[in-house]
Structure 1
């Protein structure tokens, strides 16, 4: 099945989905972030086929989200987040908050996050970079940006 290419759309959501929009990629990024950096570790944790994992890892490396580094004499590699990849993990942490709120059920969230700066267990929130106040969909108005192609 041919995958739809969203990378050429004038939409940052579509462009992001072009990089991590299929279900395995965010899970691979999560695994690398928590320390499963080798192919066999990721494959064992996710139960993903070797073929699909190879394709996903190559895609993430090609898009500059992961770096591939050799770790022994044989051609074996570990995967590390790039700066671009670490910022995608920030996005995943926000997604986690939504999943914890709406999908965790009575058992509660499967993972908690301790903030290094204050030592407290917390969750990520969207805040305005200018004023620092919470920022949600109902608090903003989308406007055409310079990359929109709009002439108005």
Structure 2
């Protein structure tokens, strides 16, 4: 006995993404086709036809590359020298670092990776609280010495 879906077979319900009209009976046509950006010359030479939905990082990288092209690959003048040196290579450095981290996490056992992330998630707030406590005690001691002196 074949199963029948009432949601998909009802002509009364509005289906905005349905490939055919809701009230039409007959052959359904598939009007969906993959959409991909076209190459537009030298400005798109580094995109290699990648789709944006591979991840939002691709979109952010494209926006950053377009901003660099608009500025002729020159960083703002108020930046420090070391920032200017790494300006054009920044995207690739970040992508490589995230790729190495992802590779290391994927090559470890899931329990070890989750344990390491839990350890970092617990230790960072704890160490921040201890640091704040010591700074508070130092401030109290300085104020007490200033009040007595």
| Shorter-chain TM band | under 0.3
- Greater helix percent: which structure? 2
Give TM-score, length-normalised by structure 2.
Answer: 0.24
- Greater strand percent: which structure? 1
Give TM-score, length-normalised by structure 1.
Answer: 0.23
If asked which structure has higher relative contact order (CA below 8 Å, sep 6+), I would say 1
